[in-house]
Copies of this chain bind each other. A is one copy, B any other.
Amino acid sequence: MSQRKATTSDAGRATIRDVAERAGVSVASVSRVLSGNYPVSEELRRRVMKVVRDLDYVTNAHARSLAGGGTPTVAILINNITGAAFAHVAKGVEGAATLRGWLSLVGTTGDDPERELALVNLMRQQGVAAVILLGGAYDYDEYQLRMARFARSLDAAGSHLVLVGRPPLEGDVPATTVDYDNEGGAYAMASHLLSAGHRRVLVLPGHAELTTAQARLRGAQRAFQAYGMPFDPGLVRHGRYDYEHGYEAVEAALHETPDFTAVLAGTDVVAAGAMQALRSAGLRVPEDVSIVGYDDIPLASQLTPQLTTVHVPYEEMGRVALRAVADRREGGSGGRKSADGDHLVLGTHVVVRNSVQPPAPRG
């Protein structure tokens, strides 16, 4: 193909040396002009900038980070990029990152521990400022050990582990947790149903092993207890946080334990499925059966009737998570960062819409 002078490299990008040469100055000067953090004569600056524009030069980020500087990067690790809640956290992280000139890497684990490990290592290679793990965790045996290992590994590499939307790790682990009052939200939501007069509530908390689901179930149970009402485990159905589960769980419940007057869904999406199943069975919402959700994603206010649900500040959690790592970074050496990391908890609250009504009198 076309081959120009060998100096101004034809393949690949222009280097700082190309710029220096063409501007008739030293590479050090070019570096200074571009960094802008050093006094430089107006004349030099002009000359350099002209060549930079002519060559459409940009610094090589890899070289820059090797040499010292470099753009901080955060890695966002997520099970499934498609979930609305996750998307909002990611938005918060990415937005806050961009605001600071940081970059965001994204990886999806698909609930596969192997992939998760591979990604954490990949991110470690990249020298990311932090690895942010989003979403509830499956609390299997090795989970704590696994995460502790991640945390120490990242910490040793000058990076940091941030857990968002799941409980903090036990013991002295160098990790930061950004969580929300999951159990409290569920407690409030269940209380809302109880105070409307509901006693037989179908509960769809999510997977039994998922920390998120466990907290929501606990919250519901506590509410029943506080109201002095018996909590029937037979009305609890576990399953995935998706539309299909909501649908199928309600369908099954209508056959097996049809005396419930309300559904406490683990997420808004599950609530949507539940609502559809009730409709298909000829039941009206909320006249015949009330429904509440959890998350307060846009879908909640788009359903008919609009869904009463628990608002979780997902986007803010993302922002808070990023701010936490940024702060800790500025804190620098000798900062008073506790070895066991911080634990930030954001509040949740019930958003009352139109999907709840006192139970219909027994027919």
A-side interface residues toward B, CB under 8 Å? Answer: 11-13, 56, 58-66, 70-71, 76, 80-82, 84, 87-88, 90-91, 94-95, 98, 103-108, 115, 121-122, 124-127, 153, 156-158, 243, 272-273, 275-276, 279, 298-299, 302, 304
Contacts and interface: CB of A to CB of B under 8 A. Distances in A.
A125 B61 contact: yes
Nearest to A94: B108
A91 B91 CA distance: 15
A100 to B, nearest CB: 13
A122 B64 CA distance: 13
A71 B122 CA distance: 9
A57 B199 CA distance: 57
Given A71-B122, A81-B94, 18 more contacts: A13-B127, A13-B158, A56-B153, A58-B121, A59-B125, A60-B125, A62-B127, A66-B66, A71-B125, A82-B91, A87-B87, A90-B106, A94-B108, A98-B107, A98-B115, A273-B302, A276-B302, A304-B304
Nearest to A87: B82
A184 to B, nearest CB: 26
Nearest to A124: B58
Contacts of A56: 153, 156
B276 A125 contact: no
A104 B107 contact: yes
Given A60-B125, A66-B62, A302-B276, A108 B98 contact: yes
A158 B279 CA distance: 56
A290 to B, nearest CB: 17
A274 to B, nearest CB: 11
Interface centre among A11, A81, A88, A107 (most CB of B within 10 A): A81
Nearest to A280: B304
Contacts of A108: 91, 94-95, 98
A43 to B, nearest CB: 25
A58 B124 CA distance: 7
Contacts of A275: 304
B58 A62 contact: no
B106 A104 contact: yes
A115 B97 CA distance: 13
Nearest to A243: B302
Contact of A94 (B60, B106, B279): B106
Nearest to A92: B81
A272 to B, nearest CB: 5
